[in-house]
Each structure stands twice: as structure tokens, then as C-alpha cells.
């Protein structure tokens, strides 16, 4: 059962071959066994999980038969979940218990999904390796001396090690897609505004987007069906008709135009990554697709633009953590300003402090026009590049990450090298487009390689179909680390 797809698990539950309680217990036992090694989960509450599972069994006994009813699910610890500790990977929120459900959590609860626990993450989603968490780094199940990617690294490790059959993540600059590539599964960042951000602790409000993480495109389609939809409580949520994201899974690929940005295939890409991506593109050609070269001339500016805009928004969003209303408060202080200063100094980690300082600087008088305003202009140019590219192609493909999983601590002392881990993913967030990563091979060390798909706005269903047809023809998404057996 731990290797079954969501559709197979749903069929087994519907046929009464296994109960939701038995299925949840199976995964809880694996978490007990493997989490001390991987550090994928921050919070597990067996009693809460089994209560949800019993409720799912009761709903099924009463005649309900939804596709996610009784399916176990892990949530990234950035989503508030009523009665669950919600830490965002930070000392600042180490003891915060959410009083309400985020919209994403509420929608999965309504669908009958069973929460297994809250997954570790880079502190306030700031990181590309899951090494900035207050609760310690997450280990990659393919090699526990390596990172799983970030910031959704806990969700990634849980999926790869079969501690959960599905998980939620968030993507601000690649934080679903990059760990999906490094851990060998499928991850989707939807179009900005498709999934509600209400109850999702904010990092950079114009970039953050929740999305599904699972073993296959088909599984991600089922999850997105539950996650997506308009939410009046979220001012960035888009009011659009509901759609079935699984509707195009069996659409043939004949005539599909795949755009290949020359900017994605230059220097800096690992040779093994290049070979795996090129083999995947050859497989798509065999399935009937054609490839065309496209230009994204401003994509090289995406990293500097992102690291002005995202810290600026973070410095504003994180100002709410002041030790007054909730979160960590310093034990010893002289006055109100001293309490603010000490609470934030003690509660935030180094990476969060670095980004707050950068963000405050670029928003300050005299620097706003020189940095923040210029970065927003570059953002517009990057979005226009994609508009032009999609005039001659249907989907854009390339590597998700320039390398496979690197060793723990390898880039910790060099923030710039760490930031460059997201060089192929950040532009998608700046443009607000959907992007996903699917497994497409391994390097010579046996580490997974990810292929990135970038679609036009609201093109998730087509992207999922394009990924699904590739996964029908290959078995990369079925491979698993030895630790997962």
C-alpha cells in the first residue's frame, strides 16, 4: 500500500480492502520508524490523525465515496491547521497552535483527507535546502548526507521515503519544484491566485503559491481539484469557474510544441542533468511532440530581481512577529522597543534576518527607486518574455535545478550559490505562471534529476496531461530510494 497511487488507494478504500484507520496507521508507523533519521515531520499527533481517519471511515460507511476520502496527507508547516502546532520552521512560532484552518487545509478536510502531520521546512520558507529550519535540517532519502531541497523539504522527504502518499507545499521561487527534482517526484506550482493563500503564513505575498506534491501527475491533478478555487477571504484569489484538472490526462501529444529556452541550456548546468533532460526531450519527440527554440532574454535577471522583491515583501510581512500578540517573546527586556528587538533577535534565524535587512534596505527612502522599483520593471520584462515565447510554443521545458542534491552544509556559507539553486525556477514566480517538475532520470551517483514544465496562465490541466503521457511511457516517477522499501 505504501507504493500505491492515490487512485489505487481510493479504490482499495472503496472496496473495503483497507480502512482509513488502517491506512493512516500504516503511514504513522513508518513515520515513527524513519522520521528520526530524516527529520521530515515537525509535528505528529497520532490521536488527531486517527480521529480524522475514523471520521472518514464513518463517512464512507454512510455512502460517501470521494476520491480523497480517507487518503492520508502531510501538510507543509506553513499552513495553519486548527489544533495543530504551526511553526513555519521557526523558533518564533515554535509553540504556536493555530486556532483555525487555512483554506487549503479546510478543503482537504472537507474532501475527507486525513492529516498525518506537519512537515519541516526552511524557516518562513526562506531557503533552498531545508537547512535553515529551527528544528534542524531535513535529510534526502536518496542519500541522507544530502539536502532534499527547500523550502518544502520536509514534504519532499516524506513523499520520497513513503512516509505519506501526498503532501502540500508552497512555492515562492521554486520551493515545490526544486525539492521535487532533488527527491524524485512530481510537484506543481499553480498559476498565481488559483490556490487560496488564506491561512498560509506569508513570506512574499505577490510570489507565494500553494500547490500539490505527489508521485505522479495524475495524483497531483486529484489534489489540485481539492485545493483550487476562489476564496473571498484572500484578496489575491482569482474568481474563476471550477475545472477538472484531470480532464486532459489522456490527451495525445501529437503536434505539441515544446519551447526550449537557450538561456536554460547554457553554462552552469551539471552534465548529468543535461543528459537526463535531453533524453526526456527525445522521449517527448517520440511521443509526437516537436521542439522549437524560444528566447527568454531577461531570465538571467530573475535571481537579482527576485532577491530584491521577495525580501522587501518579507520585511513587511514579518513585522507582525513582534512578541506582542503571538509567537516568541524575550524573557528579559527593559521597555517596549527592547522587547521588540530582543524577541525578533531571538526568534528569527540568520537567513530570515538577512532577508529582512535586505528588504528593509531596498524599501528605505533613497533606495526604493534605485532597487525595488527597478526590480519590478524587470519583473514586467520577464513576464513579457513568456508572453512572446508562448506565441510559438505550447509549453516550455528545461531543467528544474542546475544540479542534483548537494551535500548538507556544502552551500550554507555562500548565500549567493544557494540562491542560484533556483535559477531556472524563479522567473516562473515573477511572471505568475504555472510550473511543475517531474522525474526524468538519475545522475551517476544515483540521485534524481527533474524536468521542468512551464505553462501559460491557467494551463495546469494541459501541463498535467503532458506530464502524465510522459509518465505512462517511462518509469522514473516509480523509482524509489532503498530507504523507502
Active site residues: 76, 151, 175
* Matching residue, cell 548526507: 145
Specify the DSSP class assigned to residue 189.
E
Long-range pairs for 343-347: beta carbons < 8 A, 24 or more residues apart: 344/92, 346/91, 347/90, 347/91, 347/92, 347/321, 347/323
| Chain-centre distance for alpha carbon 95 | 24
User: Bridge-partner residues for 398, per DSSP?
Assistant: 452
Phi/psi region, residue 208 (left: phi>0; alpha: psi -120 to 50; beta: rest), is beta
DSSP 435-481: EEEEEEEE-TTS-EEEEEEE-STT-HHHHHHHHHHHHHH--GGG---
Burial class (CB in 10 A: 0-12, 13-18, 19+), 238: middle
The whole-angstrom separation of Cα 228 and Cα 111 is: 12
The whole-angstrom separation of Cα 133 and Cα 135 is: 5
Q: Work out the angle at residue 345's Cα, subtended by the Cα atoms of residues 343 and 349, and round it to the nearest 5 degrees.
A: 120
User: Bridge-partner residues for 189, per DSSP?
Assistant: 435
**Among positive and negative, which fits the CA dihedral 229, 230, 233, 234?**
positive
Burial class (CB in 10 A: 0-12, 13-18, 19+), 255: exposed
* Matching residue, cell 544515483: 446
Residue 341, C-alpha cell as written in the block: 528587538
Amino acid at each position: 500500500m505504501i507504493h500505491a497511487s492515490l487512485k489505487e488507494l481510493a479504490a482499495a478504500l472503496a472496496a473495503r480492502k483497507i480502512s482509513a484507520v488502517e491506512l493512516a496507521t500504516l503511514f504513522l508507523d513508518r513515520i515513527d520508524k524513519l522520521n528520526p533519521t530524516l527529520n521530515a515531520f515537525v509535528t505528529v499527533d497520532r490521536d488527531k490523525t486517527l480521529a480524522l481517519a475514523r471520521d472518514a471511515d464513518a463517512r464512507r460507511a454512510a455512502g460517501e465515496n470521494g476520491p480523497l476520502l480517507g487518503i492520508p496527507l502531510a501538510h507543509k508547516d506553513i499552513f495553519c491547521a486548527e489544533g495543530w502546532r504551526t511553526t513555519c520552521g521557526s523558533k518564533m512560532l515554535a509553540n504556536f497552535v493555530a486556532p483555525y484552518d487555512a483554506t487549503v487545509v479546510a478543503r482537504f478536510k472537507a474532501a475527507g483527507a486525513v492529516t498525518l502531520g506537519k512537515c519541516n521546512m526552511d524557516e518562513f520558507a526562506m531557503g533552498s535546502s531545508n537547512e535553515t529550519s529551527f528544528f534542524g535540517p531535513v535529510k534526502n532519502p536518496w542519500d541522507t548526507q544530502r539536502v532534499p531541497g527547500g523550502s518544502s523539504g520536509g514534504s519532499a522527504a516524506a513523499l520520497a521515503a513513503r512516509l505519506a502518499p501526498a503532501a502540500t507545499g508552497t512555492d515562492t521561487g521554486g520551493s515545490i519544484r526544486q525539492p521535487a527534482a532533488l527527491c524524485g517526484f512530481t510537484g506543481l506550482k499553480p498559476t498565481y491566485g488559483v490556490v487560496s493563500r488564506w491561512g498560509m503564513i506569508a513570506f512574499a505575498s505577490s510570489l507565494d503559491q500553494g500547490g500539490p506534491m505527489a508521485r505522479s501527475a495524475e495524483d497531483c491533478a486529484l489534489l489540485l481539484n481539492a485545493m483550487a478555487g476562489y476564496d473571498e477571504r484572500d484578496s489575491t484569489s482569482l474568481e474563476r469557474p471550477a475545472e477538472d484538472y484531470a480532464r486532459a490526462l489522456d490527451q495525445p501529444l501529437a503536434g505539441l510544441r515544446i519551447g526550449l529556452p537557450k538561456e536554460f541550456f547554457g553554462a552552469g548546468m551539471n552534465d548529468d542533468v543535461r543528459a537526463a533532460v535531453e533524453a526526456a526531450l527525445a522521449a517527448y519527440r517520440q511521443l509526437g511532440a516537436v521542439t522549437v527554440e524560444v528566447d527568454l532574454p531577461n531570465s538571467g535577471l530573475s535571481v537579482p530581481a527576485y532577491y530584491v522583491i521577495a525580501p522587501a515583501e518579507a520585511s513587511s510581512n514579518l513585522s507582525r512577529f513582534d512578541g506582542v500578540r503571538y509567537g516568541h517573546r524575550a524573557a528579559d527586556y527593559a521597555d517596549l522597543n527592547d522587547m521588540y528587538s530582543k524577541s525578533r533577535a531571538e526568534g528569527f534565524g540568520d537567513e530570515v534576518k538577512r532577508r529582512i535587512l535586505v528588504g528593509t534596505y531596498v524599501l528605505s527612502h533613497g533606495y526604493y527607486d534605485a532597487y525595488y522599483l527597478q526590480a519590478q520593471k524587470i519583473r514586467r520584462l520577464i513576464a513579457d518574455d513568456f508572453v512572446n515565447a508562448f506565441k510559438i510554443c505550447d509549453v516550455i521545458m528545461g531543467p528544474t535545478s542546475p544540479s542534483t542534491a548537494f551535500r548538507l552544509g556544502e552551500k550554507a556559507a555562500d548565500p549567493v550559490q544557494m540562491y542560484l539553486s533556483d535559477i531556472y525556477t524563479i522567473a516562473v514566480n515573477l511572471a505568475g505562471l504555472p510550473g511543475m517538475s517531474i522525474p526524468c532520470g538519475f545522475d551517476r551517483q544515483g540521485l534524481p534529476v527533474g524536468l521542468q514544465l512551464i505553462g501559460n496562465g491557467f494551463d495546469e490541466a494541459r501541463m498535467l496531461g503532458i506530464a502524465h503521457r510522459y509518465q505512462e511511457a517511462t518509469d522514473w516517477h516509480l523509482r524509489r530510494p532503498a530507504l523507502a522499501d
